[in-house]
């Protein structure tokens, strides 16, 4: 990015960033929502806006860091600032909240509920692929519980 980024040049700033993103939706507040290039995003989980100093700001709701996002875009942190001299300190990832983990496991929990109904209540015998899938579901749920335990 050779053109300085300025808050007064808001639409232009986001247009330059937009060319590096997929699935862009323009928000009513002037920002963007897009598929995050930092992970295999199926939906728009990246919010893009302009900060108080005219810099481009990112928020990935799946937890990607700014470094991961910018690197996947083929840019550097300095490309996000008006004078290419960032006043940015690398931050560590804060991790996932219990709500985020439950939201991610929602489908798995529904599968367990259906399996309980089919196999325990209705007496149906599970096939091997169902057993394998339920085993993986249980592993993911257990990993989520261990993750939450480690954050206490």
- Give pLDDT tens digits for 22-42: 999 888 777 889 999 999 888
Q: What phi and psi values does residue 67 have, to the nearest 5 degrees? A: -60, -45
pLDDT band at 12 (very low <50, low <70, confident <90, very high): low
pLDDT band at 104 (very low <50, low <70, confident <90, very high): confident
**pLDDT at residue 49, rounded to an integer:** 87
pTM above 0.95, yes or no: no
**pLDDT at residue 6, rounded to an integer:** 36
């Amino acid at each position: 990015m050779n053109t300085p980024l300025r808050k007064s040049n808001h639409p232009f700033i986001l247009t330059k960033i937009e060319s590096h993103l997929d699935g862009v939706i323009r928000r009513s507040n002037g920002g963007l929502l897009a598929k995050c290039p930092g992970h295999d995003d199926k939906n728009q989980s990246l919010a893009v806006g302009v900060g108080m100093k005219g810099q481009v700001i990112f928020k990935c709701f799946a937890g990607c860091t700014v470094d991961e996002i910018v690197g996947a875009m083929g840019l550097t942190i300095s490309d996000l600032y008006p004078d290419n001299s960032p006043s940015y300190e690398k931050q560590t990832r804060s991790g996932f909240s219990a709500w985020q983990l439950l939201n991610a496991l929602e489908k798995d929990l529904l599968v367990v509920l259906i399996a309980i109904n089919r196999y325990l209540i209705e007496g149906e015998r599970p096939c091997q692929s169902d057993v394998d899938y339920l085993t993986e579901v249980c592993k993911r749920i257990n990993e989520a519980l261990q993750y939450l335990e480690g954050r206490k």
